[in-house]
Structure 1
């Protein structure tokens, strides 16, 4: 074969490979990182580093279906929403913030948080002190405080325009509010001081303050998850003869309505420089419960792992009753969904219709 033809062919292959690689790299760079804030639905191990916290997923059977088959600090039998969202985008799960700062000197110049960080904490709420002090968790305010420290570190490591571009393309996921609503109905003091509407109005106004703090420190793309029908969790069903506890669900509906209104106003106040996707987890879970058989679930009321009525009178421990097939259950323990149920939620969150996502879904958010 003529050597010139070989050289031309090889050059063409080299150029094709380079173009293919470049396009793949650019595609991956649509979302360079995910910064996660929230509660136990997205905690990937932060609570393991809280000395005083009793809210830790550190015992079997947590993690029984995780790749390692061991407890990881996730309140699930396997992967949780933070893992599954990262999978959808094509990124590794953002590591727990406290694991990063416990292993390295925060002041070292070579420490980077550019690949994403998870600040979520089991038991956390929008309000400070959602859980009793002895159960120590990281409130949303504190989580945003930690992010502010990360942002300050990033400004020292990265040129300003490069950092702003990175953060503007990153996803800031916020999954919180359930513990605040649980807290309201578990506290006579809160109920005496606040009507349900006053309470949820305070929740949305407090959340808005924290969202604005994130915006002020570079965040532009937000994935916001509403509160689900937590009155249908096994632990809530115990209050109503195994049926969904309607009072809790009604408060969730009030909060979600206020949250959607707040997000629209907040976007306008920031001159439409914000992009967000709101996920209606309430509608998504209700649909799964009402059409459980079509989704492959045989049990919509009982926890897979626990003790007592509905397996919901005590949390999952090595002495708990464990269901044989986690794919059959919507709920893993008294309050958390199984990985199987969570996968359906994340599918809808990522590319679901307007019935579940507003004003766009996460796939569209990533593409902006």
Structure 2
């Protein structure tokens, strides 16, 4: 547990120092780099490096770590076609692994590269899309968005690419949006379905009836799940291997606790929706879809994995409210509750404890 708390404190301090430096630069003090409209300070770049190193250097951390390490060797050899035949993973990810085999022989290089791209996409999206970058970084780690890819490597990478696409390029530079969606789909085929959903609901406003309809629909879908043959056919269309996922067992108590905590945060955002920017309101609707996926996922753990795509979006409105909410007690409650959520999450899920890496023995 200690390494994660140290990480959280470190990146929060770096983000805060970066914010102070940016504010000072606005008054003509200190050099900064500009990326679009965001100001990148040296502290921000160090923060990015810390997050990448912590994720990329992990060893045996995450319930799927050993599986990915084993599948790495199937993607080697001289022929990409042969690698695609040997590996059950999606073509884009296999192609990436095949390319990385020319860089290093062990799977460590894969974890480094996927971590760098995943974290880079997340941080870039938050740097451009949030009113309080320190709060956003805190929530990214505390609510598990940063930690989920430790286990769900491919889906976490695809989710990060879609997160960047939807927060930065959904309304402009559509070719970048399409390129990011294509890359995400190559890594995990389910990303295409998620991208279509994001496009369909992009103009929906976060009104109470929207929340009610989505949750009611999710409850109904949970009851009908697997009784409709189309569910299995859709899974087979995406990837025949996904059929075994949709028939997995029902969720346990932990999933219901996650749903309860997420519902409280979503409700808080809906109650203060008038304080949100247009992007924050859009992200709140996207995050509500993740909550709905969790509800349906009570009937199949695998379906709850779709929440990985949507959960990241909750960081954006919450960070905005940390900045805009007039009541300091509310801000403290959101941040404190998120910290408690993180402690419970790390202690019980994802196989994150003990943390081990090339520089930390655990």
TM-score (norm 2): 0.31
Higher normalized contact order (CA 8 Å, seq sep 6+, divided by chain length): 2
The structure with more helix, counted as a fraction of residues: 2
Larger radius of gyration: 1
The structure with more strand, counted as a fraction of residues: 1
